[in-house]
Amino acid sequence: MTTAETPETQYAERGNIHIAYQVIGHGPPDLVLVWNWFSHLEGRWEIPSYAHLLRRFAGFRRVISFDKYGIGLSDPVPSTQLPPLEEWMDDVRAVMDAAGSERATLVGQSDGGLMAAMFAASHPDRVEALILIDTLASNVWAPDIAAATGWSREQYDALAELMMTKWGRPGFLAAFDPASGHDSEEQGRWDRYFRLAASPATAAAMGRMLLELDLRDVLPSVRVPTLVLRTRSPYSTPETGRQLAGLISGAQFVDLPAAQSLVVGGADLIVDEVERFLSGRRASEPDRSRFLSTVLLTDIVGSTERAAQLGDQRWSQLLDSHDEFARRQVSRFSGTGLKSTGDGLLAIFDGPARAISCAVALRSGVRSLGLEIRTGIHTGEIERRGDDVGGIGVHIAARVEAAAQPGEVLVSRTVKDLVVGSGFSFVSRGVHALRGVPEEWELFSVAE
């Protein structure tokens, strides 16, 4: 594609952040490409195999694609601290809104598949279907993951080192994906693309963050039609594809061993399979009552004793001050305050990092009122019931809150795993049996 044919790069505004996006083809229906973390909207058109993939998708859907916050043509992150996964989910919503897409099929590739899956679980009303290509349920090295990938700990560490030290240099692509061959011209295009997408420092930070992502606990909350595809990529195997599909109810798994990775020409087989999956599929009405969310619950420590000490009128005034401050903080961190529990509150958030930030602000602020709170946070599936919510996610959050000490923000391991790279520090509080909840749960305290 020549420069003249390159689609216009536009910008979606997310607060004061600008997310670069492009639209090609005609629709609706729409496809939103949530590609692996490194991207450059304009640089990809210089790579014939990548341009061919985009044209093929645009042959049967309107295609919306974007550079994530901090990557490519989108605004840079103004620090060495990368945004948490939930902010990149906001990028999906921002570009869909800017492009006028009410509902779309998300196509996630590699680590972008984890981001797409979390968006589909959190916002099922915006997602028609989900396609996951060469995505692992967890990027964390562990014996069970190693059994599926066939990678030793030494190979895993070598991959991390490669990403952090050889980014965009000659030979990087061949080392990362040996199937790419030795076409020096093609290698040079990809090397330039990597350099356009991110600096070596950003690549190193991303490498560390991505290798800590684990979504196994939240994937069962994906309830949209899902296709899992596996190509002959260097890091996915038939076992990782089956493992991922097995965590999503009703997901179809298709192994494409004849397809080389997208980097080196697997586009046609992949697009054919995506089109086959989507063709003839009637748009189903999503179940808006059930979705993935982060639940925050607080409780005022010693409320009964304080009420008796202060008397009804003064205690009521103090509670009013507490509730008003809590409402402001929930709004500040883009949460939804659902109700006061009498001596605490219940709120939900799109992402766990915002919930933790809100909890830390609440803990500090109520101390100025002479109060101490305990807080529990969990990310899980909840069910909307009128103006209230229920379900196992709320139940677990309540049990986590009950296990917290005065002044403590206590979170489940699911929350901890989802906020990698966000700058929070945690201290393990050991494994707990939560009343009425199956299995044992490891809980973590947010460091003050």
Angle between the N-to-C axes of helices 85-98 and 111-122, in degrees from 0 to 180, rounded to the nearest 10: 70
- Give the model's pLDDT for residue 21: 98
88 Ramachandran zone, left/alpha/beta (phi>0; psi -120 to 50): alpha
Mean pLDDT, range 171-196, rounded to an integer: 77
Domains and CATH numbers, the chain: 3-278 (3.40.50.1820), 290-446 (3.30.70.1230)
- Give the model's pLDDT for residue 414: 94
Q: What is the pLDDT of residues 186-245, one digit of tens each?
A: 788 888 999 999 988 888 888 778 878 889 999 999 999 999 999 877 778 899 999 999
Residues 6+ apart with CB under 8 A from 438: none
- Give the model's pLDDT for residue 249: 93
- Whole-number mean pLDDT of the chain? 88
**Of 420, 424, 413, the residue nearest 448 (C-alpha):** 424
- Give the model's pLDDT for residue 3: 42
Q: What is the pLDDT of residues 330-387, one digit of tens each?
A: 999 999 987 877 788 999 999 999 999 999 999 999 999 999 999 999 999 999 887 7
How many Å apart are CA 101 and CA 66, to the nearest integer?
14
Q: What is the pTM of this model?
A: 0.89
**Is residue 232 a contact partner of residue 260, using CB atoms and an 8 Å limit?**
yes
The tokens for 447 are 């460091």
> Widest CA span of the chain, in angstroms?
81
**Is residue 428 a contact partner of residue 387, using CB atoms and an 8 Å limit?**
no
The tokens for 254 are 């298709």
**Is residue 274 a contact partner of residue 107, using CB atoms and an 8 Å limit?**
yes
**Is residue 168 a contact partner of residue 189, using CB atoms and an 8 Å limit?**
no
